[in-house]
Amino acid sequence: MASLASRSSQALRAASRRVPRTASKVAPKPANAASYSLLATTRASALSRRTTTFESVRGVKTLDFAGSKEVVYERSDWPLAKLQDYFKNDTLALIGYGSQGHGQGLNARDNGLNVIVGVRENGESWKQALEDGWVPGETLFPIEDAIKRGTIIMNLLSDAAQSATWPRLAPLITKGKTLYFSHGFSVVYKEDTKVIPPKDVDVILVAPKGSGRTVRTLFKEGRGINSSIAVWQDVTGKARERATALGVAIGSGYMYETTFEKEVYSDLYGERGVLMGGIQGMFLAQYKVLRENGHSPSEAFNETVEEATQSLFPLIGEKGFVRSFPPLPIAARAIFTDLAPSPRMDYMYNACSTTARRGALDWAPVFEAANRPIFEKLYKSVRDGTETRKSLEFNGRSTYREDLARELSEIDGQEIWRAGKTVRSLRPDYKP
């Protein structure tokens, strides 16, 4: 599929001119996304000093997701001044400073909230927090001290560490505080983790659907990440409101309501599947067969990874696998619409040659049939706690960082990724 990128972008530009605006089912853009960026925080802080009444733009929406109605919360319900007022008596104590601690903590701090960080003294995270400007004794504390000072305890330790530290941290989470997680892991799998929250605190979840680095990057761009929100325990009657406000505080643009259980099942499943484990397995299998059949490393890499990540996957991200109408003349489109109430054509497929489309259409069901039993097995392994127990055992080791690094370096050393380094180095925007 040579020169696909140029052909596809032309095709897409043309296609987007043809596609009618069926915008009612598309989530609207936030009205004032930029006001959550670093720059606008300053303006909003000034505003909050001048006024105590807020113009609330209703952001809660019921949207139609492929025929299912779901409530979506958006940050326009929480103008920055209102957000700062809501949390004016709170101290957000971020416990743990991995990827999420970094992204969520810096965003909440830039949003003008009172944030402190609690991590092991002089560990890796302590050093990282110092680099990010957290000040020992002012905004950076050992874990227990931070919990004592905080009103909202944001437990962003690794999932294994949440379990290991729980016996000493639990007594510090006293009545009136809010307990916050970014994963349902600890409380849903309580038989294994032993994390049982005190009965007299609200327990909520905001789980960004992306890495903490992305949480930070999107925020800095004035955009927001999609997050799931959920309530485990509502003592005050305000737990959902708090979850939504915290979602905005840490940099979410849109928040989708779920339960702790559904969040953790889907998340463990997704990352082991298509998002990470599955994709590495598929890439490697395809690459190896190409190599065994005499293709060069560059050809095998280009045809497996480079074209996927640089051309086709971004197209899926941009418009989805499908779009509302096929690229037909208007008259033909009307007939098509009559025949099928919701005509769908594959957007990414349409950017590719007819040869590619024919083959992909034929082989997609074969891959689905082959993969379905694997996904079923994986989901079962998540639901019955097998994945949780493995994660607790492995990531609970004192050597977890080195052990993970060793296995990841093995992947990095695979020929496919070594070949990829050279391919990437030829990109015009390459940064070493």
Ligand X SMILES: NC(=O)c1ccc[n+]([C@@H]2O[C@H](COP(=O)([O-])OP(=O)(O)OC[C@H]3O[C@@H](n4cnc5c(N)ncnc54)[C@H](OP(=O)(O)O)[C@@H]3O)[C@@H](O)[C@H]2O)c1
User: What amino acid positions are annotated as catalytic residues?
Assistant: 183
**Residue at token pair 């089912």:** 25
Q: Would you say 7 or 120 has its CB closer to ligand X?
A: 120
Distance from C-alpha of 57 to C-alpha of 143, rounded to nearest angstrom: 38
β-bridge mates for residue 94, sequence order:
117, 154
Nearer residue to ligand X within complex by CB, 33 or 160: 160
Beta carbon of residue 425, minimum distance to ligand X (angstroms, whole number): 27
The response to whether 368 counts as a known ligand-binding position is no
In this complex, which beta carbon is closest to ligand X, that of residue 183 or of residue 323?
183
User: Considering beta carbons, is residue 99 or 371 the nearer one to ligand X?
Assistant: 99
- Name the token pair of 371: 């993969």
Nearest partner of 387 among 193, 239, 100, 106, judged by Cα: 193
Compute and round to an integer the Cα radius of gyration of the chain.
Answer: 24
Closest CA to 243 of 229, 232, 260, 255: 229
Which one, of 160, 232, 153, 170, lies nearest residue 193 by Cα? 160
Where on the chain is the footprint of ligand X (CB under 6 A)?
96-101, 119-120, 123-125, 156-159, 161, 164-165, 182-183, 185, 207-208, 211-212
- Report whether 307 belongs to an annotated binding site: yes
Q: How far is the CB of 141 from ligand X (least distance, A)?
A: 13
Strand positions, DSSP E, 85-224: 92-95, 115-118, 140-141, 152-155, 178-181, 202-208
**Complex with ligand X: residue 128 or 151, whichever CB lies closer:** 128
Min. distance of Cβ 77 from ligand X in angstroms? 22
* Of residues 33 and 119, the one with the C-beta less far from ligand X: 119
| Cβ burial 287-319 (10 Å sphere, 16+ → b, else e) | beebbeeebebeebbbebbbbbeebbeebeeeb
Cα–Cα nearest to 312, from 347, 337, 361: 347
DSSP-derived letter for residue 96 is -
CB of 65 to ligand X, least distance (A): 21
- Closest distance between ligand X and the C-beta of residue 183, in Å? 3
271 is in an annotated binding site: yes
| CA–CA gap between residue 358 and residue 301 (Å, rounded) | 23
Residue among 127 and 372 whose Cβ is closer to ligand X? 127
Q: How far is the CB of 104 from ligand X (least distance, A)?
A: 8
- Alpha helices by DSSP H, 150-236: 159-169, 185-188, 190-193, 212-220
Quick check: 134 and 94 in contact, CB under 8 A?
A: no
Tell me if 230 sits within 8 A of 214, measured CB to CB. Answer: no
Nearest distance, CB of residue 2 and ligand X, angstroms: 35
Between CA 21 and CA 429 the distance in angstroms is 33
- With 0-12 / 13-18 / 19 or more C-beta atoms within 10 angstroms meaning exposed / middle / buried, residue 23 is exposed
Q: Tokens standing for 170? A: 């639990």
90 is in an annotated binding site: no
Torsion of Cα atoms, 379 then 381 then 383 then 384, to 10° = 160
Annotated binding site for substrate: 353
Annotated binding site for Mg(2+): 267, 271, 303, 307
